[in-house]
Structure 1
Amino acid sequence: MREVIKNGKSIDEAIEQALEELHATLDQVTIDVLEEPKRGLLGIGAKPAIVKVILKENPIEKAINYLRDIVEKMGVIVEIKATQHDERNVECQLTGDDLALLIGKRGHTLNALQYLTNLVANKHSDHKLKIVLDAENYRARRKESLEILAERMAHKAVRNRRKVKLDPMPAYERKIVHTVLQPNRHIKTASEGEEPHRYVTISPES
């Protein structure tokens, strides 16, 4: 965490000098006024304003550094490219060798890494952040396979007139299933169970 102490004829002047040295904007820092300026009498006894300006930790950088540390401890060397789509949504692409180890069976390892990365990011952020990790285009391939699975299980539910229960999956994967089946008026979907074992059920409409 970087911080500087600056003085100036006014508080604003001292803050401006600090921001210039930190190469930061007001929303990226916290400000502590240590001394108010005093004019004195005829210039005698005048005192400058003194401020301490602290550069806030970037929650996204903090989370990515945490992710990089975990991955390196797993013995995998990766390059992490973060793309911030807006103030709340960030996508991280992992590239390198042995990415299958980071993805894991049905993406379980990748999902766990994503969960931990989001925990760290939101611990240091003043607003909700959503970081999505992807490797070898896994998310797109997983989305396609979930859509195929959803259609197949919906057909099975209608054919057998019985509710079908899918394996537990994270919220964004459940959303894929709900979305792809939403236009199907012959079935209804629901999420049941408790996290992290929450799952989707597909039931025929009576």
Structure 2
Amino acid sequence: MKKLVVAGKTIEDAVKSGLAQWNTTENRVKIQVLEQPSKGLFGLIGNKEAKVELEWIPDPIEEATVFLHDVFQSMHIDAAIESQESAEGVQLNISGNELGILIGRRGQTLDSLQYLTNIVANRYATSHVRIVLDAENFRDRRKQTLEELSDRLARRVIRTRKEVVLEPMSPQERKVIHSQLQNHPNVKTYSKGEDPNRRVVIALR
């Protein structure tokens, strides 16, 4: 844990000095008074300064971003991260060149990195934090692909009157399939199997 001990004529002076050294604000630190200031003989000799300890309060999103930059550096990837609030929590958008290696086959590498990033963030959070990673708008493009696949397979099920079992998918991708077909008049969906091999089944109603 990041800590700093500083002294000053008063407790307030000591705290201000510490905050200035870290270039931060009081709501980002825990403050513990180590020594109260005191005046010496005749108020002149042996004066003792106040001494405080500041302890840095880590921000989960900042720590997640630091973790990702470390990963990018080890993979020799030059990428930037932009944070934004989303319906699912906090979305970290990654931009840069040649991010295919970061996304992986059908987003599997990106999903794994997202899982690790959430572990790192929640290590520093006081309440659960949900982080979604996206790279070059991959999530939206993948969502559109899955929605189109859902409609195409639904038509096949109606035509052949045989259910279709999809390949294993992540919970997020299965949710896209279910949502796309939940109001379909002729087909229904359900999942079977256990993660990571859980699959969506499209069948006649």
TM over 0.5: same fold?
Answer: yes
Give the structure 2 partner of residue 60 of structure 1: 61
Give the structure 2 partner of residue 203 of structure 1: 203
Residue identity in the other structure for 1:177: I
Q: 1:46 to 1:85 in 2, by over 3 A?
A: same
When normalised by structure 2's length, the TM-score is 0.77
Residue identity in the other structure for 2:137: N
8 A contact 1:38–1:48 mirrored in 2: yes
8 A contact 2:65–2:81 mirrored in 1: no
Q: Distance in 1 between matches of 2:108 and 2:2?
A: 37
8 A contact 2:178–2:189 mirrored in 1: yes
Q: Distance in 1 between matches of 2:157 and 2:175?
A: 19
8 A contact 2:93–2:136 mirrored in 1: no
Count of residue pairs the alignment pairs up: 202
Residue identity in the other structure for 1:149: L
Q: 1:183 to 1:25 in 2, by over 3 A?
A: farther
Q: 1:147 to 1:53 in 2, by over 3 A?
A: same
Give the structure 2 partner of residue 158 of structure 1: 158
Give the structure 2 partner of residue 192 of structure 1: 192
Give the structure 2 partner of residue 147 of structure 1: 147
What secondary structure is seen at the aligned counterpart in 1 of 2:194?
coil
Is 1:106 aligned to 2:106, yes or no? yes
When normalised by structure 1's length, the TM-score is 0.77
Pairwise CA distance, 1:141? 1.6
Pairwise CA distance, 1:122? 1.8
Residue identity in the other structure for 1:32: Q
Deviations 1:71-119 (A, max 9, x none): 3333x4221222232794132223113x222222212122222222222
Q: Give 5+ residue unaligned stretches, structure 1.
A: none
Residue identity in the other structure for 2:191: S
8 A contact 1:92–1:131 mirrored in 2: no
Residue identity in the other structure for 1:84: Q
What secondary structure is seen at the aligned counterpart in 2 of 1:177?
helix
Q: Distance in 2 between matches of 1:3 and 1:15?
A: 13
Deviations 1:154-199 (A, max 9, x none): 2223333443222222222222212211221322222333223332
Q: Distance in 2 between matches of 1:94 and 1:35?
A: 48
Pairwise CA distance, 1:46? 9.2
Residue identity in the other structure for 1:190: Y
Residue identity in the other structure for 2:159: R
Q: Give 5+ residue unaligned stretches, structure 2.
A: none
Q: 1:173 to 1:54 in 2, by over 3 A?
A: same
Pairwise CA distance, 1:150? 0.9
Residue identity in the other structure for 2:142: R
The CA RMSD measured in Å over matched residues stands at: 3.2
Deviations 1:19-69 (A, max 9, x none): 3443333442223343467899x9899976543111123332332332233
Give the structure 1 partner of residue 124 of structure 2: 124
Q: Distance in 2 between matches of 1:143 and 1:49?
A: 58
Q: Distance in 2 between matches of 1:73 and 1:192?
A: 38
